[in-house]
Structure 1
Amino acid sequence: MLLQNHTVLITGAGSGLGLGVAKYCKAQGATVIVTDIATEKLAYIAADFGEQDLLLACDVTKITDLELCKQHIVEKYGRLDAVIGAQGIFDGNRPILTMNAPDLDQMFDELFHINVKGYLLTAHIFADLLKQNHGALVLTTSTAAYAADGGGAVYTATKGAIRSLIQQLAFEFAPHIRVNGVAPAAIGNSQLKGPKALNLDNEKQSDIPKDAFLNLFQSISLLQQLPDATDYGEIYAFLASKQNKIMTGQTIVADQGLLNRAVLTQH
Structure 2
Amino acid sequence: MTLLDDHVVLITGSGSGLGLGIARHFQQEGAQLALLEYDDDKVRTLRDEFGDDVVVVHGDVRSLDDLERCRDEIVARFGRLTAVVGAQGIWDGNVRLRDIPADRVDSLLDEVFAVNVKGYALTARVFLDLLDAEQGALVLTCSQAAFAADGGGIAYTASKGAVRSLVNQLSFELAPRIRVNAVAPTGIANSQLRGPAALDLQDSKQSDIPADAFRQQFEWLAPMQHMPSPEEYGPLYAFLASRQNTIMTGQTVLADQGSLNRALISMGDLLTTMPRA
Where does residue 192 of structure 1 map in the other structure?
Answer: 193
For residues 239 and 101 of structure 1, the distance between their equivalents in structure 2, rounded to whole angstroms, comes to 40
Q: Secondary structure in 1 aligned to 2:36? A: strand
Where does residue 218 of structure 1 map in the other structure?
Answer: 219
Where does residue 88 of structure 1 map in the other structure?
Answer: 89
1:66 equivalent to 2:67? Answer: yes
- Describe how 1:33-48 pairs up with structure 2 within 5 A: 33-48=34-49
Deviations 1:137-184 (A, max 9, x none): 000000000011111111000000000100100000001100000000
Where does residue 203 of structure 2 map in the other structure?
Answer: 202
For residues 133 and 232 of structure 2, the distance between their equivalents in structure 1, rounded to whole angstroms, comes to 30
For residues 227 and 46 of structure 1, the distance between their equivalents in structure 2, rounded to whole angstroms, comes to 25
**Structure 1 range deviating more: 238-247 or 205-214:** 205-214
Q: Secondary structure in 1 aligned to 2:127? A: helix
Distance 1:257 1:227, change over 3 A: same
Deviation at 1:41, TM superposition (A): 0.3
1:169 equivalent to 2:170? Answer: yes
Deviations 1:91-143 (A, max 9, x none): 10011111111211111000000000000000011010000000000000000
Deviations 1:39-78 (A, max 9, x none): 2101113232132210111100010000000011111111
**Structure 1 range deviating more: 22-31 or 214-223:** 214-223
The question of whether the paired residues in 1 share the 8 Å contact of 2:40 and 2:58 is answered with: yes
- Unaligned 5+ runs, structure 2: 271-277
Where does residue 106 of structure 1 map in the other structure?
Answer: 107
Where does residue 261 of structure 1 map in the other structure?
Answer: 262
The question of whether the paired residues in 1 share the 8 Å contact of 2:3 and 2:29 is answered with: yes
| TM value normalised by structure 1 | 0.98
The question of whether the paired residues in 1 share the 8 Å contact of 2:46 and 2:56 is answered with: no
For residues 211 and 177 of structure 1, the distance between their equivalents in structure 2, rounded to whole angstroms, comes to 41
The percentage of aligned residue pairs carrying the same residue is 53
RMSD in angstroms over aligned alpha carbons? 1.0
Deviation at 1:263, TM superposition (A): 4.2
The question of whether the paired residues in 1 share the 8 Å contact of 2:11 and 2:23 is answered with: yes
Q: Secondary structure in 2 aligned to 1:84? A: strand
For residues 258 and 92 of structure 2, the distance between their equivalents in structure 1, rounded to whole angstroms, comes to 24
- Unaligned 5+ runs, structure 1: none
Task: Return structure 1 stretches of 4+ with deviation > 6 angstroms.
Answer: none
- Describe how 1:2-151 pairs up with structure 2 within 5 A: 2-151=3-152
For residues 135 and 190 of structure 1, the distance between their equivalents in structure 2, rounded to whole angstroms, comes to 28
**Structure 1 range deviating more: 209-218 or 239-248:** 209-218
Q: Secondary structure in 2 aligned to 1:43? A: helix
Q: Secondary structure in 2 aligned to 1:253? A: strand
Q: Secondary structure in 1 aligned to 2:90? A: coil
For residues 80 and 98 of structure 1, the distance between their equivalents in structure 2, rounded to whole angstroms, comes to 44
Look up the equivalent residue of 1:154 and give its one-letter code: A
Look up the equivalent residue of 2:234 and give its one-letter code: G
Q: Secondary structure in 2 aligned to 1:24? A: helix
Q: Secondary structure in 1 aligned to 2:253? A: strand
Q: How many residues align?
A: 267
For residues 15 and 225 of structure 1, the distance between their equivalents in structure 2, rounded to whole angstroms, comes to 21
Look up the equivalent residue of 1:245 and give its one-letter code: T
